[in-house]
Amino acid sequence: MNRLDKKFSELRMISRKGFVLYLTAGDPSMPDCFRIVSRLEKAGVDILELGIPFSDPLADGPTIQKASSRSLKQHTSVQDVFNLVKKLRNEKIEIPVVIFTYYNPVLKYGPDRFVSDCADRGVDGVLILDLPPEEAGDYVVMASGKNIKTIFLITPTTPEKRVKDIVKISTGFVYCVSRTGVTGARKNLSGEAPAIVKKIRKYTDLPVAVGFGISTPEHVRKAAGYCDAVVVGSAAVKKIEDNIGKKDIDGIMARYISSLTRELKAVEK
């Protein structure tokens, strides 16, 4: 069983919502990144969303743009990201890993080679931000053949007919974008997300994860009330930015993330 399937099955058994954490691979450095991600399971993270740094991240706000820039200045490559995942698996860390990327790095690397290396290194799913589902047929077939989950976005502006089409080729889980615009921490949680989740659930039994703008313990607690998993990204990436150069950056991040993941206990049934 794919690690994502197994994780959501485990969460259903204990009636708990999942916590997905996004980090940019290689930020603030590859050694620091490994130290941070190696502590995520104990900090309560259920799924790691690992971003491949890219020079033109169209869906990302300033915080993740800067993280990508920091990583690219160190020449982080797609192969380096795969090696990071492989190192986690060599250390017997079994947290499900979803690669978050744009299509340009995949195309340059070679889609077939990319999917094969995902499987060989221990990646469980891929979310390609700018690959339209209508153009994803060949990629979906390749990924399915390697048991790599294909995760797609549904946004507040996605027409209902397109929601039906997207969930047909989605596996692992469906990513619900809670608000229009780019990624980034927000003061207030979007009021649009519950309705979007409800619309998605009309057409699929897949777990629904909600992200974009979730940044505080209160946000985590509220969002967990209507979805299957909560995604935190920019807030965690900003925490890294604020602590670059500190020897205990992995400990700082572990404590910070624990303050978010413990909120999910409040929605256990």
Predicted pLDDT at 137 = 95
Predicted pLDDT at 242 = 96
The identity of residue 257, as a single letter, is I
Give me 53's structure tokens. Answer: 């740094």
Q: Which residue has the tokens 């169209």?
A: 58
Predicted pLDDT at 185 = 46
Task: Note the maximum CA span of the chain.
Answer: 50
Predicted pLDDT at 198 = 93
**CA–CA separation, 110 and 218 (whole Å):** 41
Give me 241's structure tokens. Answer: 């930015």
pLDDT in tens, the chain (269 residues): 799 999 999 999 999 999 999 999 999 999 999 999 999 999 999 999 999 999 887 767 789 899 999 999 999 999 999 999 999 999 999 999 999 999 999 999 999 999 999 999 999 999 999 999 999 999 999 999 999 999 999 998 999 999 999 999 999 999 999 755 445 444 556 577 898 999 999 999 999 999 877 878 888 888 889 999 999 988 999 999 999 999 999 999 999 999 999 888 655 54
The predicted model scores a pTM of: 0.93
Predicted pLDDT at 187 = 53
**CA–CA separation, 100 and 143 (whole Å):** 14
Predicted pLDDT at 216 = 85
What is the domain partition of the chain in residue ranges? 3-267
Predicted pLDDT at 61 = 75
Region 3-267: CATH code: 3.20.20.70
The identity of residue 215, as a single letter, is S
Predicted pLDDT at 60 = 74
184 DSSP assignment? -
Give me 121's structure tokens. Answer: 């290194």
**DSSP H or E run through 221:** helix 217-223
Predicted pLDDT at 182 = 47
Predicted pLDDT at 267 = 58
Answer for the pair 174, 204: CB distance below 8 angstroms, yes or no. yes
User: 175 burial class (0-12, 13-18, 19+ CB within 10 angstroms)?
Assistant: buried
| Residues noted as catalytic | 49, 60
Answer for the pair 233, 183: CB distance below 8 angstroms, yes or no. yes
Predicted pLDDT at 127 = 97
**CA–CA separation, 190 and 183 (whole Å):** 13
